[in-house]
Amino acid sequence: MAKIDVRLRENVHLLGELLGRTIREQHGDLFFEKIELIRKGAKAARQGSADGAAQLAATLDSLSEGELLPMSRAFNQFLNLANIAEQYHRVRRHREGEAAPFEESMLSGLLGRLEAAGHAPRQLARQVAQLDIELVLTAHPTEVSRRTLIQKYDAITAQLAARDHADLSPGERARIELNLQRLIAEAWHTEEIRRSRPTPLEEAKWGFATIEGSLWQALPNVLRQTDAILRNAAGQPLPLEAAPIRFASWMGGDRDGNPNVTAKVSRTVLLLAREVAAGLYLRDIDDLVTTLSMQNASEELRARVGDSPEPYRQLLKGLRERLLATRDWARMAQESELPPCERVLQENAELSEPLALCHRSLHACGMHVIADGALLDCLRRVATFGLFLVRLDIRQDALWHTAALAEITEYLGLGDYRQWHEERRLAFLSAELENPRPLLPHRYQPSPQTAEVLATCAVIAQAPAASLGSYVISMARSASDVLAVQLLLKEAGLDRPMRVAPLFETLDDLNAAGQVIERLLTLPGYRAHLAGAQEVMIGYSDSAKDAGTTAAAWAQYRAQEALVDICARHGVELLLFHGRGGSVGRGGGPAHAAILSQPPGSVKGRFRTTEQGEMIRFKFGLPGIAEQNLNIYLAAILEATLLPPPMPEPHWREVMERLACDGVEAYRSVVRDHPQFVDYFRQATPEQELGRLPLGSRPAKRREGGVQSLRAIPWIFAWTQTRLMLPAWLGWERALENALDRGEQQVLESMRRQWPFFATRIDMLEMVLAKTDAEIAGRYDARLVDEPLLELGARLRDRLSRAVRAVTGLTGQSQLLAHSPETLEAFSLRNTYLDPLHLMQIELLARSRQPDVLVDSPLEQALLVSVAGIAAGLRNTG
């Protein structure tokens, strides 16, 4: 088996040793020896040693009540430090002879392939400049680790980077290790679990901190590299105004099922984004004022500033004053309805124009190297982030709009809008959209819920267009759902088009998505209200929860195909918005493979996708990691646009249709139809306890009820904790077995070789199955589940083993991930720390479910720490 890189192993060992010293100092040698006994016992047990398993069990059983919390914390911190070492390893200094990360060469390699395929270099350069990729940061599932700890983890990473020099003196190395010891001690003595849920405003600040701490630096670095590649390959630079990657956010705008997100919150977040952006640009401008001290300037610049001895400073000091005014106004306006004064920057062009003038002047005077330094980086930031940092999306459930309109139509004496059939709704909405008069008189007093809907629309109407993204309609099912939002926005005073994106998120809704958009595009006058492209959001999380990943994946694919065809026939540009989660059960997976597996024609230089919760930190939390992931997006979207995957063969489609039918039947026969399933789910997993983990600002459920009322995130999270990972694979075992029984092995193998969609599904299925552990899941059952429900658990674990056999049979491997021994070893090392956490969690769950356990007791805290530790070890929550 391949070994993990020596430098990574060394860093993991160092961080673990320093944590061990910290634990010894607080809890003594005896406690630390128990940790070592548990770790060694877990490792030996994983290797099949009965003595190791006995030692592990005996040591865990010997823990006193007071030792459970620090022991859970110890293994939690070991896993977090391993994550830090792994992340740093991806961006470490590369020594002479080492290959650079493949992400750095993806774009240049792709351009070479595209040129060989007949694309002209200059056309390729234009295509790159025109890319429109928008990554939408969302708060759910929010980060398990506290922001305070994340900052300490980032500082640990910085010290690993400082240590990564071969020529350090002994004194320098000692100082770095002392700094690491201090940071690890600070992390150890900091609570892992928040005392209360974050507010939507705190979530937004967390998202802004990711931009400030990482993306603000990473983005211009990526565009600088892209510019160099284009100059080399096509002789053309990346234009100053090009923004191939932008960012949007749901933090403070996603009110679907979250009563904590109000119109006031959204308004505050919009202003906070302007305040943060102004502050970031002020730092840049201050640096430029210091740097651009030269005297030579173009006539164009001289005409603006006069006969100043330092023309660049003169111009930029004026811009700095306006940024100060903008920042101060945005801060004060969060507390009161304060109109902006004339000095407040309102349009992105007001920020970019003086910077571009400086850039032109420097080039005109022969100071190219100065022009294309920090000034160019600032211009790239302006093109990407603008005055508003991120574009805020607004999301709300269609039922809220329906209820608001029903209240309005009843007030107007027109009857109950909810009872109207679709054609009557469309006729009413279309007529009112074209009617110049207001729909409501000033004396109308709405109910609190309708008032909130109208207030949200008013915030949208008053906000600058460039500060907003899309209005996303959850649970959209009909064309009237889209027109309803447009009418409510019109009533609030919005006099410009805004993208309104229906979100199709159940199996039935995905199947009907094409019909809904077809109906919309045939409505007279509808296109006048389109803000450019017709945006449609594809829901991965809830469709998978509704039908299982087999049927959901195929429904998502077919829906996209239908939408591409319909919009092409109507001559309307389509923008697909992919609502992916972090885990496989919620549509997650490697971005490159996922993008290249989309239907042909669905990616035409434009791509919108969510980046959720803990995946934001893993993918964008460090500048170097962020650069790698941004490079992946650039290359993948360009490749999917110009080298789209082949159309699936008709017989592949037939096979996939049968797989989907078998998959949904098998999935629903358990999740919906088995009378004991809900009881088993609640006993075997920490689902109920997760409701006490302050993960995000919104409730775990949309409403009271069973599994269907759960959000997709806790649904996935609960099964992840027990290592059964049921939502990610249930249904595939039956679907693949039936296909093999029908003699379709060869066609499945050809689908996997030649159809990126199917290959990616199988690869993601294999990855998640490699993280499952039937033995661990069985231990949860044995300790927590009532006797009558144990048979169901055993049957599910049997289905898991069948899924594993089906996948290895299809891939021809002796075991899962046999082609990736490095990944297998990484999983093996993590299991050494995960196994004790699982066993402690099982015992903690059993004790915490006793009626006399108090909230916020050490037992409760230990349980929540175990949840966070397992999430860290598996690197995903939901």
Q: Any idea which residues carry the catalytic annotation? A: 140, 545
Structure tokens at 657: 């249709």
Question: Whole-angstrom Cα distance, residue 383 to residue 405?
Answer: 39
**Three-state DSSP class for residue 439:** coil
Distance CA 845, CA 841 (A): 6
Q: Which own/partner contact pairs does 781-789 have at CB distance under 8 Å and 24+ positions apart?
A: 781/684, 783/842, 783/843, 783/845, 783/846, 784/683, 784/684, 784/842, 784/845, 784/846, 784/849, 785/680, 785/683, 785/684, 786/679, 786/683, 788/676, 789/676, 789/679, 789/680, 789/683, 789/684
Q: Which residues contact 81 (CB under 8 A, 6 or more apart)?
A: 12, 15, 16, 19, 156, 184
At residue 575, what are phi and psi to the nearest 5 degrees? -120, 110
CA distance 774 to 794: 9
Q: Determine contact, residues 230/237, Cβ cutoff 8 Å.
A: yes
Give CB contacts under 8 A, 24+ apart, made by 309-314: 311/361, 312/288, 312/358, 312/361, 312/362, 313/289
Give buried/exposed letters for 356-368 (b at 16+ CB in 10 A, else e).
bbbbebbeebebe
* Block residue for tokens 């060989």: 116
Sign of CA dihedral 506, 507, 510, 516: negative
Q: Which residues pair with 248 in a beta bridge?
A: 136, 391
Nearest alpha-carbon partner for 725 in 641, 800, 672, 674: 800
Tokens 């329906």 -> residue: 402
Residues 6 or more apart whose CB falls under 8 angstroms from that of 300 comprise 357, 360, 361, 364
Instruction: Find out whether 489 and 471 touch, Cβ atoms under 8 Å.
Output: yes
Tell me how far apart the alpha carbons of residues 395 and 409 are, in angstroms, rounded to a whole number. Answer: 23
No. of H helices and E strands in the chain? 37, 8
863 alpha carbon, distance to own chain's centre: 26
| Amino acid at site 135 | L
Rounded Cα distance, 46 and 53, in Å: 8
Q: Cis omega before residue 141 (within 30°)?
A: yes
Distance CA 615, CA 612 (A): 6
Separation in Å, CA 170 to CA 174, 478, 698 = 6, 69, 51
* Cα angle 49-51-52, degrees, rounded to a multiple of 5: 65
* Residues near 6 by beta carbon (within 8 Å), at least 6 away in sequence: none
Query: Is 93 within 8 Å of 161 (Cβ atoms)?
Result: yes
Q: How many CA atoms lie within 13 A of 664 on its CB side?
A: 17
Output the six-digit token pair for 334.
């969060």
Is there a contact between 714 and 691 (Cβ–Cβ < 8 Å)? yes
Looking up tokens 């500048």, which residue turns up? 623
Q: CA-CA distance, 152 to 393, in Å (whole number)?
A: 31
Distance of CA 644 to the CA centre of its chain: 24
